[in-house]
Chain A
Amino acid sequence: MVDTGRQKAGSERESDDFRLSRRGVLALAGATSIVALPSAAQPGSAEGGKGETMQVTLRTNGETHRLDLDPRQSLLDVLRDRLDLTGTKKGCNQGACGACTVLANGRRIVSCLTLAAMYDGAEITTIEGLASQGELHPLQAAFVEHEALQCGFCTPGQIMSGVACIAEGHAGSPDEIRAWMSGNICRCAAYPGIVAAIGEAGRVRG
């Protein structure tokens, strides 16, 4: 299916500055092919009363966004395609891999198995919201220190889940970390580094 939420209409947030990021290059490269595709289910189109957009307010990493959303859009797709918060990854898109883990009102959830319209008013924290003033979050630093990744695709989900795992008090031992991080799959099997990083960040915090 064609991406339904490419356009930025409805978002109050203006891009502060334009940086030539990897994402930006990919978006430019894809632009011509997107034009050629039929536009399925554009937000705002009415299909017998269905397919109409809903007004939703999301707070992401401290910024407020008022959005018109198709009720079918997941929080994951809204974060990535409407708010350009592409650190949150789409792995399985069926709640099995954990790559899309974010915090909603402080609790870790898989953002793929959601309807974004049901998170009206919620406070969402993504991987982009962890570092403060250029300083990595302690768990991000621990992931670097312990080489807790190879390809890196699952890493944002691992870190968001790990932050919650520590906050919940479930990082007391390697076995406990493994059980409470089991919702995050790593195909590169960087698990020893992931467990070590969460263990260390948990001890420092604890």
Chain B
Amino acid sequence: MIPFTLEQVRTLEAAVRAGADGGRYIAGGTTLVDLMREEVERPEHLVDINALPLAAIRADGDALAIGALARMSDVAAHPEVRRHQPLIAEALVEGASPQLRNMASIGGNLLQRVRCPYFRMRDAACNKRDPGSGCAALHGINHGHAVLGTSGYCIATHPSDLAVALVALDATMRVVGPEGERSFAVEELYRLPGDTPHLEHTLRPGELIVEVQVPGGAHARRARYLKVRDRASYEFAVVSAAVALDLAGDLVREARVAVGGVGTRPWRLRAVEAALAGRRAGRESFEAAAQLAAEGAAPREHNAYKVELLPRTIVRALEMAGGTA
């Protein structure tokens, strides 16, 4: 591990000041410490933000405000989260291991780095780690890689389950930085790789995520997260689907569909949602809508199976949410 200095901050002002000076924020450390040990991450100065008062979880009616330092396990177990936003609890419990969920913060979860094996393999080409070096995954072992939003520079999937759920739920996030506070959709946090895959998010230098806000609504109570993976638990998604249905009788009033494991960022499927609106909730309309999911997919040698698995996963998730499975 490359030597660094470690600073513990007690106030948001001190944190942002240290961040603006080039410090890297650390909370749970489950991604950062691992990648520092591999010398893929080489921060010179770490800013430990765990003492900041940002771990509260508040419900306002069926809307939620989740502090960025709340731990995955605490959010997943929180009674108001389970009652009003079961999709969030389900996506969290399906992620990582119990030990990691006790450590990892919500803000850190959203900013975790990719799990492409070539990213952490320092002798392999990786444009995300070393811009301009190439992408070993393009012609390598790309069984787990993305088919949507890819470029000739990077095909790594975004690994967060929580982010997929939050994007489906139109969640927003509040960030504080040297120039003050702003809020924006969680979906807008993530960039497509394009020809600059080393730029993953839209935070400005020194900005710190302080809170995630999740609006309520009828859809939120009929929402499920289905994660297809190579083993039953403690594994990243091969394909996952976060779906939410607002039904009027057996007609779909509104549908939300976002998917993971297939995109270079959490992937909202608005064409699928539009195809579901006004239709009868059931296998036929679910299958017809899900056929639109893989439009524009660009599979590589080992991941073409995802193009077939993606609509099937969406259909099953919709059936689970609609109670027709």
Contacts and interface: CB of A to CB of B under 8 A. Distances in A.
Do A and B come from the same complex? yes
Interface of A: 41, 47, 49-52, 54, 71-72, 74, 93-95, 98, 101, 107-110, 113-115, 117-118, 120, 161, 164-165, 168, 170, 178-184
B234 A183 contact: yes
Nearest to A165: B98
Contacts of B50: 118
B44 A101 contact: no
A182 B234 CA distance: 6
Contacts of A184: 97
B100 interface: yes
Contact of B6 (A41, A109, A115): A115
What are the 7 closest A-B residue pairs judged by CB atoms, nearest first? A183-B97, A50-B3, A182-B234, A182-B233, A71-B6, A51-B3, A72-B1
A143 to B, nearest CB: 18
21 contacts: A50-B3, A50-B5, A51-B3, A54-B6, A71-B4, A94-B37, A95-B99, A98-B97, A107-B73, A107-B102, A108-B99, A108-B102, A110-B99, A110-B103, A115-B26, A118-B6, A118-B50, A168-B98, A182-B98, A183-B98, A183-B100
A170 B234 CA distance: 16
A110 B100 contact: yes
B71 to A, nearest CB: 8
Interface residues of B, number: 27
B248 interface: no
Given A93-B37, A95-B30, A109 B99 contact: yes
A79 B187 CA distance: 41
Given A180-B98, A182-B232, A113 B5 contact: no
Interface in B238-277: none
Contacts of A41: 3
Contact of B34 (A95, A108, A118): A95
A46 B7 CA distance: 16
A179 B233 contact: yes
B48 interface: yes
B178 interface: no
Nearest to B35: A94
B85 to A, nearest CB: 21
Given A118-B48, A183-B100, A183-B234, A113 B4 contact: no
B99 A114 contact: no
B4 A72 contact: yes
Contacts of A101: 99
A73 to B, nearest CB: 9
Contacts of B96: 183
A98 B99 contact: yes
Contacts of A178: 232-233
Interface in B295-313: none
Given A168-B98, A184-B97, 19 more contacts: A50-B3, A50-B5, A50-B44, A51-B3, A54-B6, A72-B3, A72-B4, A95-B100, A107-B73, A108-B102, A109-B99, A109-B102, A110-B100, A113-B29, A117-B6, A118-B6, A178-B232, A181-B98, A183-B97
